[in-house]
């Protein structure tokens, strides 16, 4: 049966997920060039935040915080593309869909937890100090 299928598979465009064909099903999809590009980019994206924080480059810690968070986000995307070979086509888009779904859950978890807990103190019933001391 596979002999009949092969011509059809050979005609499929490359970069179609992990399944290029019966004999090429295990290509790791990376090239020396792509790995080196990812590596150099992530070295740069790691060096900048460490330099910013260790060298006290900016006076404003809030600005530094925003910059290093943005750099971390960019570096995660770089790793996804060059090391994890993430694209919108592999497995017919299901890999990407799973990633998007997870990202939504991660954002809800992170933002939701921090937001709720940040407001928890404000929404507590006021309690005089001497009562608070007697609480276990």
Closer to other proteins at the Cβ: 5 or 127? Answer: 5
**Interface with other proteins (CB under 8 A), residue from 25, 57, 104, 127:** 25
What sign for the dihedral angle of Cα 79, 85, 88, 92? negative
Counting contacts by CB under 8 A, is residue 15 touching other proteins? no
Question: At its nearest, how many Å lie between other proteins and the CB of residue 121?
Answer: 12
Place of tokens 């017919």: 92
Return the residue of 89, 93, 94, 119 that touches other proteins, per CB under 8 A: 94
Q: What is the DSSP letter of 93?
A: G
Q: Closer to other proteins at the Cβ: 111 or 127?
A: 111
Q: CA 117, CA 119: separation in Å to the nearest integer?
A: 5
Selected binder of other proteins within 57, 104, 105, 127 (CB under 8 A): 105
- If binding is defined by CB under 8 A, does position 76 make contact with other proteins? yes
Q: In whole angstroms, give the CA distance from residue 58 to residue 65.
A: 10
Whole-number Å distance between alpha carbons of 2 and 102 = 36
Name every residue whose Cβ is closer than 8 Å to that of residue 90 and which is 6 or more positions away in sequence: 16, 17, 18, 96
Q: Locate 19 and state its tokens.
A: 């399944």
Binding residues for other proteins (CB under 8 A) = 1-2, 4-5, 7-9, 12, 16-19, 22, 25-28, 30-32, 35-36, 38-39, 42-43, 46, 49-50, 53-54, 61, 64-65, 68-69, 71-72, 75-76, 79-80, 83-84, 90-92, 94-95, 98-99, 101-102, 105-106, 109-110, 113-114, 117
């Amino acid at each position: 049966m596979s002999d009949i299928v092969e011509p059809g598979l050979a005609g499929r465009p490359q970069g179609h997920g992990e399944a290029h064909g019966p004999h090429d099903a295990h290509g790791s999809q990376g090239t020396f060039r792509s790995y080196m590009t990812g590596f150099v980019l992530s070295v740069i994206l790691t060096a900048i935040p460490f330099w910013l924080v260790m060298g006290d480059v900016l006076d404003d810690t809030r600005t530094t915080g925003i910059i290093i968070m943005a750099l971390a986000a960019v570096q995660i995307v770089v790793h996804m593309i060059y090391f994890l070979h993430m694209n919108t086509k592999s497995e017919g888009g299901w890999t990407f869909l799973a990633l998007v779904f997870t990202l939504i859950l991660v954002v809800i978890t992170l933002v939701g937890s921090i937001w709720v807990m940040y407001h928890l103190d404000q929404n507590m019933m006021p309690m005089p100090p001497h009562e608070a001391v007697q609480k276990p």
